[in-house]
Amino acid sequence: MAWVSKCVNRVLQLTHGRTTAFFVAFFIAGHAMALTGKLTHEYVLYMIGLGGLVLGHSFKEDWAAAKLGIQPEPPPGGPDADAKT
C-alpha cells in the first residue's frame, strides 16, 4: 500500500492541491463514463455546479488577498508536510 501513498503524493505535487486533484479524478471518471456510454446530463450538470462553486471560492480568495492583503493559511498535512510532526 506504500505505492498508493506514493502515487497520491505525486499527483498532489503535480496538481498543487487537493481541489485540482479532485477535479482531475472527476475528469477521468467523466471520460471513462463517456467511453462506456454511461455519461448522463446529471453528472455534467453536477460537475458544472461544483466547478462553479470552486471557481467562486478561488476568486474570493484571490480578491481578498489583493484588496485586503489576506493570505489564506495552507491546510495542515499534505505531500509537503514534515513527516516528523
Query: Any idea where the domains of the chain sit in the sequence?
Result: 11-68
Q: What is the pLDDT of residue 35?
A: 92
Query: Would you say 55 and 49 are in contact if contact means Cβ atoms under 8 Å apart?
Result: no
Quick check: 1 pLDDT over 60?
A: yes
Q: What is the pLDDT of residues 21-54, one digit of tens each?
A: 787 888 888 889 989 999 889 988 888 888 888 8
Q: What is the pLDDT of residue 77?
A: 62
CA-CA distance, 17 to 7, in Å (whole number)?
Answer: 14
Q: What is the pLDDT of residue 85?
A: 52
Q: What is the pLDDT of residue 43?
A: 87
Q: What is the pLDDT of residue 65?
A: 80
Quick check: 71 pLDDT over 60?
A: yes
What's the Cα-to-Cα distance from 41 to each of 35, 37, 46, rounded to whole Å?
Answer: 15, 12, 8
